[in-house]
Amino acid sequence: MDFPLEIVIRDIPRTAEIEQRIQDKVAKLASFYDRITRCRVVVESPAQAHHRKAPYQVHIELGLPGPEIIVKKETDQDLDNQDLNSVLRDAFDAARRQIQDRLDKLRRHPTLEKGEAPVEPSQEM
């Protein structure tokens, strides 16, 4: 990875395992799309969650050419067995899908990367 990675962990114990899992997932994203310029990952357990099963929230910000990609995922209250690994997986999967959607859009409209508006085909009669 040739870009800055910031990992913020709030209200849960910071472990080498969590950090390594995040670094691995970011590296996988970087191998999928090599134009990432920065990445910030926030993992937290909101304060109000301590009375229930502790849900997790994962927030990912990716700097790319064009608008940044922002993903926010949290545990599903209806699932009893959802853990931090599941939420991390879902968040990084969503980030990958957003990158893929952007790439698909750029393939259809190559001028979008330069900030130009797409030219729609004319409706001649």
- Residue 76 has what pLDDT? 73
- Residue 23 has what pLDDT? 97
- Residue 16 has what pLDDT? 96
CATH number of the domain where residue 77 is located: 3.30.160.100
Position 42 in a domain: yes
| Joined tokens for residue 87 | 């939420």
Q: CB-hemisphere CA count at 13 Å for 74?
A: 11
Range of the domain at 20: 5-114
Q: What is the pLDDT of residues 39-63, one digit of tens each?
A: 999 999 876 555 555 589 999 999 9
The domain total for the chain is 1
Position 57 in a domain: yes
Phi then psi for 75, rounded to 5 degrees?
-65, 150
User: Which stretches of the chain score pLDDT less than 70?
Assistant: 47-54, 77-81, 110-125
Position 89 in a domain: yes
Alpha-helical segments (H) within 15-83: 16-32
Position 125 in a domain: no
Can you tell me whether residue 123 is helix, strand or coil?
coil
Q: Is 54 buried (19+), middle (13-18) or exposed (0-12) by CB count in 10 A?
A: middle
Position 122 in a domain: no
Position 87 in a domain: yes
Q: How far apart are CA 13 and CA 87, in angstroms?
A: 16
Residue 43: which H helix or E strand, with range? strand 38-44
- Residue 121 has what pLDDT? 45
Position 43 in a domain: yes
Position 120 in a domain: no
